[in-house]
Structure 1
Amino acid sequence: MKKARMFPFERNRYFYGKLLTVRDFESEQKYFNDKRRLLNRLLFGSGVVAGMQVVAVDDKTVTVEMGVAIDYLGREIVVSAPVTLKLSMIDGFTNNEYKKNVYLYVAYDEKGREPVHSVGNSSVRGEETSEYNRFLESYRLYVKEEAPSPLSFEHGGLMEDIVTLYQDNDVRVTQRMPKYANPGDVVDVTLIVEKTLQTPRVSLAFEYAADGFDALGKEGNSVRFLEPGDKQDTEYRLSYSVKVQDRPGTIGRLTLNPGATELYVGDNRIPLDQTVSHSVDIITQPVAERILKDWYERSLDQAAEGYGDQNVCLAKIGLLQLGPTYMIEQVERVPFDEYIPNASLMHRVSRNGRTAASNRFYAESQAYDLDFGSKPELDVVYHPERNAFDFKLGIPKPQTIKDEISTGTVDIPLEKQDKSGLRFFSRGKRNYVTEEIMHGLGEGQVTVVVGLEEIPDPNAPVGSGGAKVYFGASDVFKDTEYEAVLPNITFGTLIYPEKGCFRIGMKLSGGTEAILLRVRWWAFKKLEDGSNIVVSGISEALNEAAATAE
């Protein structure tokens, strides 16, 4: 089948006495082949059906196992027996630098078999001629040393918007994000860095401008990638998330300006000379329905022949330079996921609920401690490929208090004495007992601690700055810069456990010029378990973090 076009179909019509020629027999074969291949192409797609694993036998040799594939024109490719070849002997391998990734492809190929004498041709030409008696539907293995464009795959441009930030012989940096999104969706943007094994470490930092999207995460609109120093991979992926704004019917754009982008390969900074931008349609229609709509609205020519020049990639082979030669470092099978799944298997997997349903989400969470008094933190990343949310929650540590506490003040006016000019308590002169004070901790035993509060300015409001509180004997600070202007007072407390209140008793050791004494008290009630306080703190942190995320 030399031509890609497989339609319209024309079938032989037989009748008695019909003269059958080569054209009729060829038409008979072409009719059935073309129809089967068209259905293969449209119903099943292209890729590996079974087998065809690529295995490195030694440093320079690979084996392709038995298997079946369907190419982009619907033709069946059958590898009927394992084939072992030196990489340098495969068509297309001209790698003199020995530092690249090479890509092994399989293609459909017809080969003539069984040459026989052609009686008809010899009568016409006069000399003996031969023709092949059979065609062997075979295959051809070949190597490409350049990575295929992500848009060269049929489904790539249908579901994702793919842009290339930079590409040369050793490094390619691309970025992908969904082509369609609904308002309010959290979508992943995936940065892909592909490199050869010998290329120095790659680092990339940029800031993006978003129109129709809100940045998520601590870094805002900044993205940084640094190749790990302890790895030797040829591909790295970094994902960050954006939230789609409520702007249905518009096109969202995510733009990377070369002036705000820094790309380093080793110590060399690579200049970027063009602005790249993603375009995402913000739609109210379910994304899956819109993708299927685009798929079904393809023309027949595009559906049947649009990728006719593309073949199935079986492996990406990483090569490592060893002096003047090379060795196979690693083999990645079917690197672009060109597989054809079995329909009955997919049905059973779907029925058993092992695939992510569109209306079911999964959550993965991780909590970490923050210092007491810090604001709670919430970072959410959505992974659409598995319908999963990744929550990272920072919770401030609770106070290490196992008691309930309440506090308050009591102001006690002093009465001036006529003879001495000094002031004492208005009743009982040197002794004073307050009225019942409700501590607010309910019934039960409490501990009350009492101190004398000093306010420099008598007219200052309660709780104003500059106040000091003295516990115990204040005369221990005498003759120091912290000496109190208040008299030395002895305190006592009387607790009423069943009434939930207490009294404060005071004894004044001498007179004072102050007209008002302010007594500060703290009431402590021991809890059987302090977990209520901790749970309450976590609940408040969660509520505040959720409000921040909204």
Structure 2
Amino acid sequence: MKKARMFPFERNRYFYGKLLTVRDFESEQKYFNDKRRLLNRLLFGSGVVAGMQVVPVDDKTITVEMGVALDYLGREIVISSPVTLKLSMIDGFTNNEYKKNVYLYVAYDEKGREPVHSVGNSSVRGEETSEYNRFLESYRLYVKEEAPSPSSFEHADLLEDIVTLYQDSDVRVTQRMPKYVNPDDVVDVTLVVEKTLQTPRVSLSFAYEADGFDPVGKEGNEVRFLEPGDKQDTEHRLTYSVKVQDRPGHIGKLTIPAGALELFIGDNRIPIDQSATHAAEIIEQSVAQRIMKDWYERSLDQAAEGYADQNVCLAKIGLLQLGPTYMIEQVERVPFGEYIPNASLSHRMNQNGRSSSLHRFYAEAQAFDLSFDSKPELDVVYHPDRNAFDFKLGIPRPQTINDEIATGIVDVPLDTQEKSGLRLFSRGKRNYVTEEIAHGLGDGQVTVVVGLEELPDPQAPVGSGGAKVYYGSADVFKDTEYEAEFPNITFGTIIYPDKCSFRIGMKLTGGTSATSLRVRWWAFKKLADGVSTSSIPFAKSAVNEAAATAEHRDSR
């Protein structure tokens, strides 16, 4: 459609006996259409009002549902019934390379209807002619294979400063930050990576230079992005933050110097020699007030027709190449947020007041480990788009428990012989020594405490008692309800400070029907800072529960 000026408005003046011509009736329609469209344009903006969802039907076909939209000249676009089309049959689609993203647009269109015989034209031209009796206000669907520039949208230049860091047919890397900022505010800078589905994994890193801003976070002025390997997304965003210095009236700059950006697409390093610079004005007044000031100070020509050649993008369609053909892998609806919100719904949402989620703040927290001797770290990022604080807390790892206390179990088999139906120790087999046991506390002196563990009888009734560990002499419990089932055993230990190990020696003073003994040991080591490990709660030390089986041997 040709770009037509909608103003000034001129309407017909009717008087008795006026000769009405085609010009008069056309101006009558134009007067009402232009007024309505101008108000649509200035009051509501452009975008989808309702419906127009794009749905994949099969690998090569899409359906556009019924819906209503306003274009960038305020004209109403109505899709009155669903339309199903092969992607290759839509205007603008080319069969050159199938590994790509394509963008589906809808545009206002008029079509002539009801051709009728024109009596006036036939008398002038001397031949039969026909004219359309009606115009059908309709639409046109078409495809573009190049992504629109982020700065080409109506409000982008008012809100953000956008720079393109790299662009080719498969990958585009842009970065955006607010156009106006207040002193001492923390603002987000957003890195956007767009790619086709079959493009290899993208990674990049750079160090920026700042004038008027201070880096926020533990990474300082370094930014790193690595595309997740488990997702099939065509757009990724990375946000980092800077703090605005107290310099009102200054034009802050954030610059990526030439050669500082290191970009990899797959294993290929992409050389980038040009620099990129953001400019943001540091102001004392409210940012929202300044943006509205710019909005209202636009000229009428710019406000009404500044984006007349642009149409509404309904979908970004990701294609995969399959040999000599393609398939539709995914469809992202209205990828650039071209929606027109309902005024009544917005009013009701604002009426919710404090109960509305828009008036609440949310916190998102992540914790990560630091080395034992590090100091705790706290990094806070505020996301104004969702009223959320992102807390990242670095917590030093506790000193490994193996450096303080260790414990374990040794099962010692007993040599026994049958006599009168009872298992008795044979003479000369009363002393047992385990093999070396590694305590895992490193070299140096340790203290080992040994006890005899008695497991409950699995056939005993419930509530009759659980496991017990006897330390020291079990004879003190003789003739009491706590008497041990095993004979009295004397324990001893041999410590090997240089070998980080020890042995347990046992001397049995009586017979038993058991075929093995279970020995529980605890090893304690004095901490480097002088704090005794005995002050550490046993609940913390219940680790390294690996059982070691030791073969017995005779004590000669």
Equivalence for 2:267? 267
Shift of 1:218: 1.4
Equivalence for 1:444? none
Matched, 1:243 2:246: no
Equivalence for 1:22? 22
Residue 172 of structure 1 aligns to a residue in which SS? strand
Matched, 1:187 2:176: no
Checking the alignment, whether the CA contact within 8 Å between 1:204 and 1:261 is kept in structure 2 is yes
Equivalence for 2:154? 154
Shift of 1:370: 4.9
1:462-477 matched pairs, under 5 angstroms: none
Shift of 1:297: 0.6
Matched, 1:317 2:317: yes
Checking the alignment, whether the CA contact within 8 Å between 1:95 and 1:145 is kept in structure 2 is no
Residue 11 of structure 1 aligns to a residue in which SS? coil
Equivalence for 1:379? 379
Aligned-pair RMSD on alpha carbons?
Answer: 2.6
Equivalence for 2:101? 101
Residue 260 of structure 2 aligns to a residue in which SS? strand
TM-score, normalization: structure 1? Answer: 0.71
* Identity, % of aligned positions: 84
Shift of 1:350: 1.7
Shift of 1:335: 0.3
- Partner amino acid, structure 2, of 1:344: S
Query: For residues 345-364 of structure 1, what are the alpha-carbon distances to aligned partners after superposition, in whole Å with 9 as ceiling and x for unaligned?
Result: 0111122143534xx64433
Residue 228 of structure 1 aligns to a residue in which SS? coil
Shift of 1:230: 2.1
1:99-498 matched pairs, under 5 angstroms: 99-353=99-353, 354=356, 356-357=358-359, 361-368=361-368, 370=370, 374-396=374-396
Cα distance in 2 for partners of 1:225, 1:97 equals 28
- Partner amino acid, structure 2, of 1:16: Y
Shift of 1:373: 5.2
- Partner amino acid, structure 1, of 2:312: V
Query: For residues 466-491 of structure 1, what are the alpha-carbon distances to aligned partners after superposition, in whole Å with 9 as ceiling and x for unaligned?
Result: xxxxxxxxxxxxxxxxxxxxxxxxxx
Structure 1 stretch displaced more, 229-238 or 61-70: 229-238
Shift of 1:266: 1.4
TM-score, normalization: structure 2? Answer: 0.70
Shift of 1:374: 3.2
Cα distance in 1 for partners of 2:20, 2:202 equals 67
Shift of 1:219: 1.0
Cα distance in 2 for partners of 1:63, 1:396 equals 55
Checking the alignment, whether the CA contact within 8 Å between 1:182 and 1:282 is kept in structure 2 is yes
The runs of 4+ residues in structure 1 deviating greater than 4 Å are 367-373, 395-400
The change in CA–CA distance for 1:196 and 1:368 in structure 2 (over 3 A counts) is closer
Checking the alignment, whether the CA contact within 8 Å between 2:3 and 2:308 is kept in structure 1 is no
The change in CA–CA distance for 1:263 and 1:367 in structure 2 (over 3 A counts) is closer
Cα distance in 2 for partners of 1:285, 1:225 equals 34
Query: For residues 192-246 of structure 1, what are the alpha-carbon distances to aligned partners after superposition, in whole Å with 9 as ceiling and x for unaligned?
Result: 1111111111111111001111111111111111112222221111111111111
- Partner amino acid, structure 1, of 2:194: E
Equivalence for 1:497? none
Cα distance in 1 for partners of 2:131, 2:319 equals 43
Cα distance in 1 for partners of 2:218, 2:179 equals 25
Cα distance in 2 for partners of 1:394, 1:319 equals 41
Shift of 1:379: 0.6
- Partner amino acid, structure 1, of 2:261: T
Count of residue pairs brought into register by the alignment: 410
Query: For residues 40-71 of structure 1, what are the alpha-carbon distances to aligned partners after superposition, in whole Å with 9 as ceiling and x for unaligned?
Result: 00000000000000000000000000000000
Equivalence for 1:41? 41
Equivalence for 1:88? 88
Structure 1: 5+ residue stretches without partners: 401-520, 531-550
Cα distance in 2 for partners of 1:522, 1:30 equals 91
Query: For residues 483-515 of structure 1, what are the alpha-carbon distances to aligned partners after superposition, in whole Å with 9 as ceiling and x for unaligned?
Result: xxxxxxxxxxxxxxxxxxxxxxxxxxxxxxxxx
- Partner amino acid, structure 1, of 2:14: Y
Shift of 1:339: 0.3
Equivalence for 2:488? none
Shift of 1:371: 5.7
Shift of 1:522: 11
Cα distance in 2 for partners of 1:238, 1:527 equals 43
Shift of 1:395: 4.2
The change in CA–CA distance for 1:522 and 1:39 in structure 2 (over 3 A counts) is closer
Checking the alignment, whether the CA contact within 8 Å between 2:259 and 2:274 is kept in structure 1 is no
The change in CA–CA distance for 1:145 and 1:399 in structure 2 (over 3 A counts) is closer
Checking the alignment, whether the CA contact within 8 Å between 2:46 and 2:72 is kept in structure 1 is yes
Equivalence for 1:51? 51
Cα distance in 2 for partners of 1:398, 1:269 equals 41
Shift of 1:369: 5.7
Shift of 1:95: 3.4
Shift of 1:274: 1.3
Structure 1 stretch displaced more, 220-229 or 347-356: 347-356
Cα distance in 2 for partners of 1:398, 1:321 equals 51
Cα distance in 2 for partners of 1:113, 1:14 equals 29
Checking the alignment, whether the CA contact within 8 Å between 1:372 and 1:398 is kept in structure 2 is yes
- Partner amino acid, structure 1, of 2:358: A
Cα distance in 2 for partners of 1:48, 1:380 equals 36
Residue 364 of structure 2 aligns to a residue in which SS? strand
Residue 385 of structure 1 aligns to a residue in which SS? coil
